[in-house]
């Protein structure tokens, strides 16, 4: 199954996404509010300027008198960044003074009511138009229109400043909230991370319950379900190991009896055909007895069985000498020259002597069986760094490279010859791993094979 998206990322996304949307909505709303307030300020200043300009226009008997000092005109047109235009027309629409480019007032404005609108002359500008009653002495009452336009750029600048003054504290607040959300998610998922670390750091045979401290109910329920599953697996494996051990014990006696009876029958048989059949039965009995013996060793090498046995410091020199001495007669029968080379005396490893002896026996047995008659088998003991190397080297035909790793799998045999059952090297690797070491097959020069058992040296190193 393809890995899904990280729970941490999903929670962070779904908690931060509403905040980001809220920030965008708030920023847009703040900009709209800032623009409206900026428009109100600009409109108020334009209306005030229009009323002030209208007060400078006085009716006379001959027309209108515009009392607009030169200084006021300079103020209206002095700032190039804040461009201001004005127009006075009387009657409304008939240009009197100011800038003739002023756009006409839209609609039909009422007297005394200001009209605000946007226009382009030639740049975007905000315009106010104010129509006032104007009664000249001795003349019929007339109307006066005052229009003042101001560039929109300062208004937009004011809106942006107001937006920044509003959005900047909001952004800081959102950032602080995001950091708080991120820290909260990390803290909330910490029990899951602890559960992951405990499971990742385990060996495949470690089935003891998971222990979590102060976990929330949801994670505790997950750990409980996992512990229940581990307990069921442990119970199933224990049942399987008991069955193998019990079956092997029950089979040892009848197989030993069958082997003895076939040996007696072979000694008394004179008919060649009958003798050939008895030899096949005897070979099958020997192979069955070997398989039962290996199954018992395999059961003893399981983690629980290893833990129950006595661990102690094992003298490797004594182990090698005893094993080689026991196997010299069998090597002579097989036509092999079995020898030993110990580079360093007194090397010790911490482990179960019975299992380590069985591992070395399996290596020697394999070498003698598959090297063939006339081969030389040498057991070497030496220290390399912090490891003790037990090498069993033969100059036989060797093993194909593709079979060297598979040879450690259960029931895989490098050759169909002999009485092997395909468990010897699997047991060797199992024992090596239970002792914190490793087992491997290497090519020998010019031909042959090296079976290496590497074990960590015990504290103290040598006897």
pLDDT-based confidence at 391, cuts 50/70/90? very high
pLDDT tens figures, 217-263: 777 888 888 888 888 887 877 777 777 667 766 777 787 788 788 88
Tell me what pLDDT residue 275 has: 83
Tell me what pLDDT residue 456 has: 92
pLDDT-based confidence at 438, cuts 50/70/90? very high
Q: Report the C-alpha gap between 47 and 55 in whole angstroms.
A: 12
Q: Which long-range contacts (CB under 8 A, 24 or more apart) does 185-193 make?
A: 185/8, 185/11, 185/12, 185/15, 186/8, 188/11, 188/216, 189/7, 189/8, 189/11, 191/215, 191/216, 191/219, 192/7, 192/219
pLDDT tens figures, 152-191: 777 677 767 777 777 778 778 878 888 888 888 788 778 8
Task: Tell whether the model's pLDDT for residue 341 goes beyond 90.
Answer: yes
Q: Spell out the domain ranges in the chain.
A: 7-101+111-160, 217-299, 309-462
Tell me what pLDDT residue 420 has: 53
Is the model more confident about 84 or about 329?
Answer: 329
Q: Report the C-alpha gap between 385 and 368 in whole angstroms.
A: 29
Task: Tell whether the model's pLDDT for residue 321 goes beyond 90.
Answer: yes
Token pair of 150, please? 């101001």
Q: What is the end-to-end Cα distance of the chain in Å, rounded?
A: 53
Q: Which residues pair with 314 in a beta bridge?
A: 349
In 413-438, which positions are buried (b, 16+ CB within 10 angstroms) versus exposed (e)? bbeeebebbebbbbbbbbbbbbbebe
Tell me what pLDDT residue 66 has: 67
pLDDT-based confidence at 378, cuts 50/70/90? very high
Tell me what pLDDT residue 15 has: 79
Of 376, 364, 372, the closest CA to residue 337 belongs to 376
Q: Collect all residues with Cβ–Cβ distance below 8 Å to 282 and sequence separation of at least 6.
A: 259, 262, 263, 266
Distance (Å) of CA 45 to CA 1, 42, 84, 126, 433: 69, 5, 12, 11, 89
The answer to whether 443 touches 396, Cβ cutoff 8 Å, is no
Q: Report the C-alpha gap between 203 and 436 in whole angstroms.
A: 12
| Pairing state between β 387-394 and 347-351 | unpaired
**CATH architecture group of domain 309-462:** 2-Layer Sandwich (3.30)
Task: Tell whether the model's pLDDT for residue 137 goes beyond 50.
Answer: no
Query: Quick one: 87 exposed, middle or buried, by C-beta within 10 A (0-12, 13-18, 19+)?
Result: buried
pLDDT-based confidence at 383, cuts 50/70/90? very high
- For residue 458, is the peptide bond before it cis, meaning its omega torsion is within 30 degrees of 0? no
- For residue 446, is the peptide bond before it cis, meaning its omega torsion is within 30 degrees of 0? yes
Token pair of 63, please? 């027309």
Tell me what pLDDT residue 395 has: 92
Task: Tell whether the model's pLDDT for residue 387 goes beyond 90.
Answer: yes
Asked: is 217-299 a CATH 3.40.50.720 domain? The reply is no
Is the model more confident about 251 or about 460?
Answer: 251
- Among 27-31, 49-53, 140-144, name the most confident range: 49-53
Q: Which fold has domain 7-101+111-160?
A: Beta-Lactamase (3.30.450)
- Among 194-203, 269-278, 330-339, 420-429, name the most confident range: 330-339
The label of the residue with tokens 């003891």 reads 208
């Amino acid at each position: 199954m393809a890995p899904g998206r990280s729970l941490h990322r999903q929670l962070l996304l779904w908690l931060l996404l509403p905040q980001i949307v809220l920030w965008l909505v708030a920023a847009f709303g703040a900009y709209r509010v800032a623009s409206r307030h900026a428009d109100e300020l600009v409109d108020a200043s334009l209306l005030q300027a229009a009323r002030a300009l209208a007060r400078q226009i006085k009716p006379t008997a001959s027309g209108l008198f515009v009392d607009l000092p030169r200084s006021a005109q300079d103020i209206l047109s002095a700032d190039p960044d804040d461009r201001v235009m004005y127009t006075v027309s009387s009657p409304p629409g008939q240009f009197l003074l100011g800038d003739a480019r002023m756009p006409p007032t839209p609609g039909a404005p009422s007297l005394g009511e200001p009209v605000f609108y946007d226009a382009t002359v030639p740049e975007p500008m905000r315009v106010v138009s104010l129509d006032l009653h104007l009664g000249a002495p001795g003349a019929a009452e007339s109307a006066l229109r005052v229009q003042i336009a101001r560039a929109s750029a300062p208004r937009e600048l004011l809106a942006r400043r107001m937006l920044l003054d509003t959005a900047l504290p909001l952004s800081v607040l959102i950032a602080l909230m995001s950091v708080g959300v991120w820290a909260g998610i990390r803290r909330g998922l910490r029990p899951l991370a602890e559960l992951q670390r405990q499971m990742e750091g385990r060996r495949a045979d470690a089935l003891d319950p998971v222990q979590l401290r102060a976990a929330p109910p949801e994670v505790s329920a997950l750990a409980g379900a996992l512990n229940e599953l581990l307990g069921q697996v442990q119970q199933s494996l224990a049942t399987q190991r008991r069955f193998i051990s019990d079956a092997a014990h029950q089979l040892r006696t009848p197989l030993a009896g069958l082997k003895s009876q076939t040996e007696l029958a072979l000694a008394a048989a004179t008919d060649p055909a009958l003798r050939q059949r008895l030899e096949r039965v005897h070979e099958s009995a020997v192979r069955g007895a070997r398989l039962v013996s290996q199954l018992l060793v395999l059961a003893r090498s399981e983690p629980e069985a290893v833990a129950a046995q006595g661990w102690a410091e094992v003298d490797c020199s004594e182990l090698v000498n005893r094993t080689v001495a026991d196997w010299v007669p069998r090597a002579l029968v097989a036509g092999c020259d079995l020898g030993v080379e110990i580079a360093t005396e007194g090397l010790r490893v911490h482990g179960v002597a019975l299992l380590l002896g069985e591992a070395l026996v399996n290596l020697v047995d394999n070498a003698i069986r598959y090297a063939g008659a006339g081969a030389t088998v040498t057991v070497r003991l030496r220290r390399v760094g912090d490891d003790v190397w037990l090498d069993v080297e033969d100059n036989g035909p060797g093993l194909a490279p593709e079979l060297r790793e598979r040879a450690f799998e259960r029931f895989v045999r490098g050759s169909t010859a002999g009485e092997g059952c395909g468990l010897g090297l699997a047991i060797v690797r199992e024992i090596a791993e239970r002792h914190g070491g490793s087992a491997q097959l290497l090519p020998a020069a010019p031909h042959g094979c090296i079976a290496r058992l590497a074990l960590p040296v015990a504290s103290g190193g040598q006897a």
